Amino acid sequence: MLELPILGLLKEQPMHGYQLSKELTDVLGGFWRVSYGSLYPSLKRLQKQGAVEADEARVGGRRKNVYRITSEGERVFDTLLQEGGRESAEDTTFRMRLAFFRYLKPESRIRLLERRRAFLIERLDTIKARLATASPNADSYTLSLMTHGQNVTAGDIAWLDDLIAAERRQVTATGPAAATSATAKPSRARSRTARRTASTARKNRRTTTTRRKERTT
């Protein structure tokens, strides 16, 4: 899954490995920090797969392998952005996808956000069930762990609800049939339309569909 953010960065401009390692740290907002032991093998895999191509450059006596994404790579990127991904790294994978959400059409964004939401609801239910049954004889620290996990999960769901609400608002505002915004992003700089997703909302969640449960905290 490291392939996803690598290709995502190479979509913006060709880069060499070291530069990628720096920018990859930023792209998820400071979590994540890649290791060279992951990055360089990953680049080789992508190269063998035909998703990237390397041009050797030389600045002074210093060698650089400048990678650029191919059309095959673009296809791989689209696939990774929307599908698959191992469940064990679900949280990380979701963050990676979100970091490149600007390349998705609003409907796809909503689909992924709701898939993630369903996953978290399931996790929340698991925790609740466990808390309900194992409560009497459990260790107090484990109990605290579970309660905290419940709160965090509920908070994550509320956050997703905000994101979903913002996307829906944007779709209906732009016109439900238009939806072209994914194709022509100039660079990583924001699209003005999607800009207020994070800041607004918090008041009018509870959209149209069957939402209840959570919010307990």
Exactly one of 7, 10, 16, 150 binds DNA (CB under 7 A); that residue is 16
Q: Would you give the DSSP letter of residue 204?
A: S
Q: Which does 36 bind (CB under 5 to 8 A by kind): a copy of itself, DNA, none?
A: DNA
User: Considering the rule CB under 8 A, would residue 146 count as an interface residue with a copy of itself?
Assistant: yes
Exactly one of 14, 19, 185, 188 binds DNA (CB under 7 A); that residue is 19
**Residues 85-124 close enough to bind DNA by CB under 7 A:** 86-88
H-run or E-run covering 63: strand 62-69
Q: How many residues lie near DNA (CB under 7 A)?
A: 33
Taking CA atoms, 38 is separated from 19, 31, 75, in Å, by: 14, 16, 22
In whole angstroms, give the CA distance from residue 143 to residue 163. Answer: 30
Exactly one of 22, 63, 115, 196 binds a copy of itself (CB under 8 A); that residue is 196
Burial class (CB in 10 A: 0-12, 13-18, 19+), 73: buried
- Count of all residues that appear for the chain in the document: 217
In the chain, the largest separation of any two C-alpha atoms, in whole Å, equals 69
Kindly tell me which of 32 and 119 has the beta carbon lying closer to DNA: 32
Binding site residues, DNA, CB under 7 A: 1-3, 16-19, 21-22, 32-38, 40-45, 59-66, 86-88
